[in-house]
């Protein structure tokens, strides 16, 4: 057992010490308080009662003044005769020149003394010291405000410098992305050995644009590039440049590149470049927009008259289509590197990297997890591993097991299970019939993906879910897969129609999905025989909003009627096929719905065992049709 009092192995982070400027300000403030206290203490006469000059003259007339001392003909200190022989000190100020004062004092027999004191150097310094310290205190506070307050640093860059060798990220920390790393290794080689390029007269790209979907690791690859080259790395978001104050963004761009040149060779990384690099002249902010000034300054800094070598600009965006063409020309962002979604082998490597940080069981099938998570990004997989660890903690486990990973995967793919949601028995039964219709069609359509899980536990906004997973990564879809996808979408609608004779509002999203697929098949993918391979309608996207708001109608009314007829034909045929299959398999449909009412969640193997379905898929269209015609028995 390690000793609890062992301070040598104490890895707790040390508390940051206060800045030196704050210490100096506190010291000056403390000294100022002490000096004012001393000044006030010694500046007042102890037990001296201050009285008006008129009262002093009254006491003098009554003969109660015993002794006086006149200071610089301005102040009178003295003693008054009190009752019972007691004396009382007093002080008063002479408000005017009184020529009769001395005669009155002598006539009353008052003992008079006086002094005319010059101003000493010590007294001057003593009186000026609090003011000197006050000015020093204000100067220190102004310096602190200038360093920390945004009001004094609007034009300064907010870029963060990463140059800590202890936290260095290299390409070994990036799973997959071989092509992207190969392109960036050239940048690394230049930063390490620029003489080789100069000797050959070659110029390294001044800017590299990382393009990819969110979560694919663009920022991680940029940090790994800096780590491999072992150079300073400046990180800044595109949105940090633009402010409501005119000229601030351009000033920050200048300051960023000045910092980069001081630390040359270095890498400047601008995340979410589309926030500042959108096409000029077509926005909603007018021609003299602050964002456009910022972009213009960035164009000049990257390739203008006053550019220097040794500063490589990396940028990341998932919207390269909205960037200004001047940014993408050679001499600025010369090269675009695509950071793609990981394939099955890359997903396996990513999962292993993140599993190294948790106590995972040796029985975890990483290959199965990689195959069961198609279309997920590196960020999704990192989140899945973290969610699996959280599931294990909730169950008070010491290690993370396979069932925890499966729960985490289902949570990411299907949403959070809302088991506490109260649903009426009739509505729950209708949901079971609906989801059974979706699930059952997976086994009778040759081009569909394999069923993964069917559940009537509410997840997200859905009351139930039938989830399918592809057998392999696919980057394009065939007509057969799209058509079968529409048939499966109509599965819930057809099942409700067959069992209840009517449908519910729960089919809305299914109908919308089916219609959207059919519309794209006809208008964009040229899959309608009566219309042919022609693109009908161009999307129009505002440059600032970044989403579709309208479509140009560049065809006649006759063509529009053909489009509508083609879409209706596809949808009608798919619905008819779904009705045909589920009508023939109504017994299996009801049997599957009954089991879902009991267990709520069934996986693919559970459905096959329940309905006596063989393993594998009907890939042969002839065999599948024979099954539908009843020529081949499934049992």
Structure tokens at 12: 């707790």
Q: Is 435 an active-site residue?
A: yes
Question: Given CA atoms 463, 215, 254, 160 in this order, what sign does their dihedral have?
Answer: positive
pLDDT score for 490: 94
Radius of gyration, alpha carbons of the chain = 42
Residue 277: its H or E element:
none
CATH 3.40.50.970 fits 160-338, yes or no: no
Residues of the chain with pLDDT under 70: 1-48, 72, 83, 85, 115-127, 137, 141-167, 242-247, 281-290, 304-309, 419-420, 422, 537-553, 616-635
On whether the 425-628 domain is CATH 2.60.40.10, my answer is no
Report the C-alpha gap between 254 and 156 in whole angstroms: 9
- DSSP states of 97-142 as a string? --TTHHHHHHHTT-EEEEE-PPPPHHHHHHHHHHHHHHHHHHHHHH
**Among 210, 296, 198, 205, residue whose Cα is nearest residue 247:** 296
Residues with Cβ < 8 Å from 176, sequence gap 6 or more? 342, 343, 345, 346, 349, 350
273: nearest Cα among 217, 204, 211: 211
* Peptide bond preceding 265 in cis form (omega within 30 of 0): yes
Contact 312, 334 (CB under 8 A): no
Which residues lie below 8 Å from residue 111, measured CB to CB, with a gap of 6+? 66, 67, 68
Q: Give the domain ranges of the chain.
A: 20-25+27-42+122-152, 47-117, 160-338, 345-414, 425-628
Q: Look at residue 546 in the predicted model and tell me its pLDDT.
A: 45
H or E element in which residue 455 lies: strand 450-455
CATH architecture classification, 47-117: 2-Layer Sandwich (3.30)
Let me know: does 464 contact 429? Beta carbons within 8 Å: no
The label of the residue with tokens 């069992």 reads: 499
Fold of domain 345-414: Helicase, Ruva Protein; domain 3 (1.10.8)
Q: Which of 272, 290, 292, 435 is catalytic?
A: 435
Q: What is the pLDDT of residue 233?
A: 81
Q: pLDDT at position 542, please?
A: 47
Q: β-pairing, 601-603 with 450-455?
A: antiparallel
Instruction: Compute the distance between CA of residue 91 and CA of residue 68 in angstroms, rounded to an integer.
Output: 9
HSE (side-chain half, CA atoms, 13 Å) at 621: 4
End-to-end CA distance of the chain: 62
pLDDT (0 to 100) of residue 619 = 38
Angle (nearest 5°) at CA 9 between 7 and 15? 70
SS3 400: strand
* Number of neighbouring beta carbons within 10 Å of residue 35: 17
Whole-model pTM? 0.64
SS3 assignment, position 566: helix
Q: How many helices (H) and strands (E) does the chain have?
A: 22, 16
Summarised one tens digit per residue, pLDDT across range 316-329 is: 888 888 888 888 88
Measured CA distances, 487 to 504, 553, 571 (Å) = 18, 29, 8
Q: Look at residue 123 in the predicted model and tell me its pLDDT.
A: 63
Task: Characterize the bridge pairing of strands 450-455 and 465-469.
Answer: antiparallel
- Bridge-based pairing of strands 111-115 and 333-338 is unpaired
């Amino acid at each position: 057992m390690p000793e609890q009092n062992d301070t040598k192995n104490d890895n707790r982070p040390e508390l940051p010490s206060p800045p030196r400027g704050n210490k100096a300000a506190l010291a000056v403030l403390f000294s100022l308080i002490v000096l004012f206290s001393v000044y006030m203490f010694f500046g007042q006469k102890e037990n001296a009662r201050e009285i008006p000059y008129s009262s002093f003259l009254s006491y003098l007339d009554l003969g109660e003044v015993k002794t006086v001392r006149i200071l610089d003909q301005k102040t009178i200190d003295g003693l008054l005769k009190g009752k019972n022989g007691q004396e009382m000190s007093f002080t008063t100020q002479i408000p005017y020149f009184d020529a009769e004062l001395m005669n009155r004092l002598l006539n009353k027999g008052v003992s008079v003394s006086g002094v005319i004191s010059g101003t000493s150097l010590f007294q001057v310094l003593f009186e000026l010291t609090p003011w000197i310290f006050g000015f020093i205190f204000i100067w220190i506070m102004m310096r602190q405000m200038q360093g920390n307050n945004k009001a004094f640093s609007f034009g300064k860059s907010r870029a963060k410098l990463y140059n800590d060798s202890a936290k260095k990220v290299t390409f070994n920390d990036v799973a997959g992305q071989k092509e992207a790393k190969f392109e960036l290794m050239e940048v690394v080689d230049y930063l390490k050995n620029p003489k080789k390029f100069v000797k050959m007269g070659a110029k390294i790209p001044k800017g590299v644009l990382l393009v990819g979907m969110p979560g694919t690791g663009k920022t991680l690859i940029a940090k790994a590039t800096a780590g491999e080259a072992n150079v300073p790395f400046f990180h800044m978001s595109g949105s940090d440049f633009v402010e409501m104050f005119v000229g601030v963004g351009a000033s920050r761009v200048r300051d960023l590149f000045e910092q980069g040149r001081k630390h040359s060779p270095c890498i400047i990384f601008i995340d979410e470049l589309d926030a500042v690099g959108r096409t000029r002249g077509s926005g909603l902010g007018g021609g003299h927009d602050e964002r456009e000034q910022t972009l213009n300054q960035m164009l000049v800094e990257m390739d203008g008259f006053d550019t220097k070598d040794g500063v490589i600009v990396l940028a990341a965006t998932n919207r390269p289509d909205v960037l200004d063409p001047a940014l993408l020309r050679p001499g600025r962002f010369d090269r675009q590197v695509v950071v793609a979604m990981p394939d099955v082998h890359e997903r396996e490597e990513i999962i292993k990297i993140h599993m190294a940080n948790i106590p995972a069981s040796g029985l975890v099938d990483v290959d199965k997890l990689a195959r069961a998570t198609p279309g997920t990004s590196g960020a999704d997989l990192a989140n899945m591993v973290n969610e699996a660890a959280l599931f294990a903690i909730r169950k008070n486990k010491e290690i993370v097991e396979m069932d925890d990973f499966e729960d985490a995967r289902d949570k990411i793919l299907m949403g959070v299970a809302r088991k506490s949601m109260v649903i009426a028995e009739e509505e729950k039964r209708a949901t079971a019939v609906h989801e059974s219709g979706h699930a059952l069609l997976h086994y009778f359509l040759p081009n569909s993906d394999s069923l993964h899980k069917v559940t009537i536990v509410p997840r997200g906004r859905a009351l139930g879910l039938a989830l399918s997973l592809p057998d392999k990564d696919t980057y394009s879809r065939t007509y057969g897969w799209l058509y079968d996808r529409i048939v499966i979408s109509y599965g819930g609608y057809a099942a409700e129609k067959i069992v209840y004779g009517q449908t519910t509002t729960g089919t809305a999203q299914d109908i919308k999905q089916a219609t959207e697929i059919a519309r794209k098949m006809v208008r964009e993918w040229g899959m309608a025989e009566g219309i042919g391979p022609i693109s009908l309608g161009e999307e129009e996207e505002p440059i600032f909003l970044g989403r579709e708001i309208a479509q140009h109608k560049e065809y006649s009314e006759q063509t529009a009627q053909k489009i509508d007829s083609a879409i209706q034909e596809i949808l009608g045929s798919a619905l008819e096929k779904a009705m045909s299959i589920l009508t023939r398999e109504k017994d299996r449909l009801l049997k599957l719905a009954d089991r879902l009412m009991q267990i709520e969640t069934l996986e693919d193997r559970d459905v096959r065992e329940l309905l006596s379905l063989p393993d594998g898929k009907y890939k042969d269209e002839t065999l599948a049709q024979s099954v539908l015609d009843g020529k081949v028995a499934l049992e």
